[in-house]
Amino acid sequence: MIPQWKIYPRSQGHSTVYLQNVVTDPSITVGEYTTYDDFVRDPREFEKNNVLYHYPVNHERLTIGKFCSIACGAKFLFNSANHALGSLSTYPFPIFFEEWGLPVEDIPRAWDNKGDIVVGSDVWIGYEAVILAGVTIGDGAVIGARALVTRDVPPYTIVGGVPARPIRKRFDNAAIEALLALRWWDWPEARIAANLEAIQSGRLDRLR
């Protein structure tokens, strides 16, 4: 397990952080060894700069698994970024409740609530990708640079574009099923270390 005091995984350079050790919002959960790299801003300010429209009134959650790699500028946009499309107007009247004499409790009616954002383990999110509210990204998936993810991404699938579309699967179906069953990211650290050569070389048959 990563020591709680350890923020930077590299002794040289502070552009990359272990995200678990810089997040303080209880509605954001990050798994062990997940990293965020930011060469433009302080990566320790991930909550402020990258988790957007995330207000307590919505009771939303951002859940990110273990061993994820999140590139500079990736954004997670929550429900308050939306406007209510079922209304005759997209103008957010409930937000300006004082101006229009509306009850403050109606503020969430200003937008469509699509739910939480869930990111699996071993996910790579590319440079300046945007993940919208209500999206679930499966284990082992890859999100291309500047992709706009508007719908769920299956495990071990590479997506890209605006809006993001599947490009290809990383492995065949049998290998994906085996990896999802193994869940190597949940292994003890010593077992992961003992299998690094097999993991890095893509040798599923050598995992032990």
d(CA 34, CA 29): 11
Spatial CA neighbour of 60 closest among 21, 102, 29, 24 = 29
59 assigned to active site:
no
d(CA 203, CA 189): 19
Which of helix, strand or coil describes residue 155? Answer: coil
CA-based angle 94:97:103, to the nearest 5? 85
Peptide bond into 26 cis (omega under 30): no
Q: Tell me which DSSP letter residue 154 carries.
A: -
**175 touches 161 (CB < 8 A):** no
| Catalytic residue selected from 14, 54, 59, 83 | 83
**37 touches 124 (CB < 8 A):** no
Active-site amino acid positions: 83
